[in-house]
Amino acid sequence: MSLMLARCRLEDYSIELKWERDPNLHSREIKTDDGWVILSDRGLDIYKKPESRNEFGHFDLALQKCKQTKVHIRKKL
């Protein structure tokens, strides 16, 4: 999904997407305007590649297998 498409879809839910890239960082974080920070050790690369086009998760990410990762969620005080 392209960034512009994601931004347009989120606007339907009154969510504004702001995106910055830092080439020095591998981990990804999502910061909300109400103080929540969500960190993923793997960034956005959480899905295992399907073995074939016939695998359930090939077309539906809800059914696709995930790689092992840690997600940290915290609230800034």
Q: Where are the domains of the chain?
A: 22-75
Average confidence score pLDDT of the chain: 80
The whole-number average pLDDT for the span 1-5 is: 74
User: What one-letter code names the amino acid at 57?
Assistant: G
Q: Where residue 39 falls among pLDDT bands split at 50, 70, 90?
A: confident
The per-residue pLDDT for 26 is 63
Determine the Cα–Cα distance for residues 67 and 32; give it in Å rounded to an integer.
Answer: 25
The whole-number average pLDDT for the span 9-18 is: 87
The whole-number average pLDDT for the span 46-75 is: 81
